[in-house]
Each structure stands twice: as C-alpha cells, then as structure tokens.
Amino acid sequence: MTTRRRFIQIVPLTGAALLASRTAFAANVEEKDPQAAALGYVADAAKADKAKFKTWAAGQNCGNCQLFQGKAGDAYGNCPLFAGKQVSAKGWCSAFAKKA
C-alpha cells in the first residue's frame, strides 16, 4: 500500500477519533435543561434570577461552591447535581454552598 493511500485512509479516521474523544468529554450544562432550570442554574452568576432565587448573593459562583469538582482556575468542572455534565466556574445555582 502506498503511503499516500494509507494517509488518505488514516486522516478521516483520526478526525473521527478526535471528534469522538471531544464528545466523550462532559458537555456543559445548558440553562434550559430541566434540572438546571429547576435549580436556577446560569452560566454567569450575575444573570441569576435574583427575584426568584433569594439565596443568591454577590460573589457566589460555582468556582467557590463546595460542590464544584473542578480545580482552582478551571473554567468548567463537574457538579454532582448535574451528572455527566460540567458547570461553568462563573455559574451559579440555588444549591450553592460556600466552599469551606
């Protein structure tokens, strides 16, 4: 088999593998997801529905929430309330619990 033919066979497979690995990463929580909507999750804490969720306070965000499982400085991380998806470190929901 020629190198060129082999290259032509490999490139689409590699692209498909990269696409598959990308989709294997956890998707981000969508604000319109039922669980997210119920908890008032927003990707930008400043946009929280403060009238509906009275527990909101300035400075609260996923990044300083006890349930946030990302590392310090991560833009996104897992949250046990949204299994298989990631929340924005700048996000917020009504289950916020200040990190100790």
> Binding residues for ligand SF4, per CB under 6 A?
41, 62, 65, 67-68, 79, 81, 87, 91-93, 95-96
Closer residue to ligand SF4, CB minimum distance, 1 or 68: 68
Alpha carbon distance 66, 45 (integer Å): 15
Of 28 and 93, nearer to ligand SF4 (C-beta) is: 93
List the structure tokens of 95.
């289950």
Amino acid at 3: T
| Beta carbon of residue 77, minimum distance to ligand SF4 (angstroms, whole number) | 7
DSSP code at position 35: H
